Amino acid sequence: MKKVEKIIIAGGGTAGWMAAAALGKVLGKAIEITLVESEEIGTVGVGEATIPSMVFFHKLLEINEREFMRETRATFKLGIQFENWRKPNHRYLHAFGVTGKDCWAAGFQHFWRRGCELGVAGDFGDYCLERRAAEANLFSHLPNSGLNYAFHLDAGLYAKYLHKFSERFGVKRVEGKIQSVSTVESNGFIEAITLESGLRLEADFFIDCTGFRALLIEQALHTGYEDWSHWLPCDSAIAVQTESTSAPVPYTRSIAHESGWQWKIPLQHRVGNGLVYCSKYLDDDSAKKLLLDNIDGQPLMQPRVIRFKTGRRLQQWNKNCLAVGLSSGFLEPLESTSIHLIQQNIIRFLRMFPAGGVMQSDIDEFNRQAEFDIAHIRDFIILHYHATERDDTEFWNSCRTMEVPESLRHRIQLFKDTGRVFRDGNELFDDSWQQVMIGQGLMPAHYHPIADSMGKEELQHFLAQINNNIDYTLATLSSHEDYLAHYCS
């Protein structure tokens, strides 16, 4: 039961510097924080799309949004447009907002479902402000957080920005590659890391941000890994940055291909592109050609291949080591949740900080919460692959017909039978479930009888009023390009 007074963060990148920034801001006056990284080791650096929880994280750290966006060449993000996922040439936009207006007894989707039956309802997404704003390339900050948003950002510039931020709170950086990790014989706790230079660094607690290598949590502590590739079969990605050829749109594009999908992330100064694919159905050379044939603008770098295995570390916190980022596991970037999971582990650790010493009860509770978070996000990502009408390739046939986790099977069946969705505890996604299920072609067979309490004209007026309110708000918004120029260029 040794007090935690010295922390070493092993590895930089987005995960390392987010951890350093939060720990420094909250505990910098009370504990010694050192981050170890090597300029010779590159980072994956493709997690450039985020979700609205990052706005909350920045508010906790009192980060100036204009400054952050200017330094990272960021743009605003209102959602993700999915193209070819349900079937070729079909698209829908999963937006960050709430769709329609709920009743206490039943969600808006029940009234919309009856409206479809009566022929008075438009597309489900027509009743979501964020979706309509995204499709019209509009953005402005609204009072009382009236428009839910996130960011597209340059991951390399973000790490540099947080580096400078962290130094203001006493975080020290040490340059060097980790050569070995020393553990205590009696209890297996990590006591020190030794760099190639011979420098030995001791601490009371270690945060592993060494990426897929997981030097501490796995190579030193042998924590174990749960493989989810039978549900999420893509195991490779190719990333390339390109010049901008048009004004940035306020949404990410996710474009399904024959054996995976492509991302397009618009920043102020360039576009991030990538292809996520399954090597069982597509070789690397063909994947590179497919990506390069489907980008706009000149490439700014050589395409690079990234290998991964979807899954999670069996313990995010093991002994006196916490895994953050890719060392803790990997869910592909389809719904931009990687940075969210980083900040969740950081915030959770700060709330459960072991000031008096590492205790197993803390470890167990931390890991229970972390497993809950990642398992629900896993199910949501699997949904995109499984709930599809595509049968044009072996890859999509395999995804459409595969067995899915029982938790996801229940959600899908409940929605198909009754139109009901539920939020399990404090899980991340809520309205998103019905947006994606409807977008992927799932239509409820029935709706809640409360929707019958409205006559046809009353229901038509109810739906039209929601649309009119959105139209009124859209008229007050600026173009995304103009707002960026005014706000943070």
Q: Which residues are catalytic?
A: 77
Per-residue H/E/C for the chain: CCCCCEEEEECCHHHHHHHHHHHHHHHCCCCEEEEEECCCCCCCCCCCECCCHHHHHHHHHCCCHHHHHHHHCCEEECEEEEECCCCCCCEEEEECCCCCCCCCCCCHHHHHHHHHHHCCCCCHHHHCHHHHHHHCCEECCCHHHCCCCEEECCHHHHHHHHHHHHHCCCCEEEECCEEEEEECCCCCCEEEEEECCCCEEECCEEEECCHHHCHHHHHHCCCCEEECCCCCCCCEEEEEEECCCCCCCCCEEEEEECCEEEEEEECCCCEEEEEEECCCCCCHHHHHHHHHCCCCCCECCCCEEEECCCEEECCCEECCEEECHHHHEECCHHHCCHHHHHHHHHHHHHHCCCCCCCCHHHHHHHHHHHHHHHHHHHHHHHHHHHCCCCCCCHHHHHHHHCCCCHHHHHHHHHHHHHCCCCCCCCCCCCHHHHHHHHHCCCCCCCCCHHHHHCCHHHHHHHHHHHHHHHHHHHCCCEEHHHHHHHHCC
Beta pairing partners, 201: 193
Q: How far does Cα 243 stand from its chain's mean position?
A: 24
CB contact burial 333-363 (16+ within 10 A = b; e otherwise): bbbbbbbbbbbbbbbbbeeebbeeebeeebb
CB atoms closer than 10 angstroms to residue 419: 25
Q: Name residues whose C-beta falls within 8 Å of residue 169's C-beta, 6 or more positions apart in sequence.
A: 21, 24, 25, 28, 29
CB-CB contact of 289 with 158 (8 Å): no
Tokens of 91: 């698209």
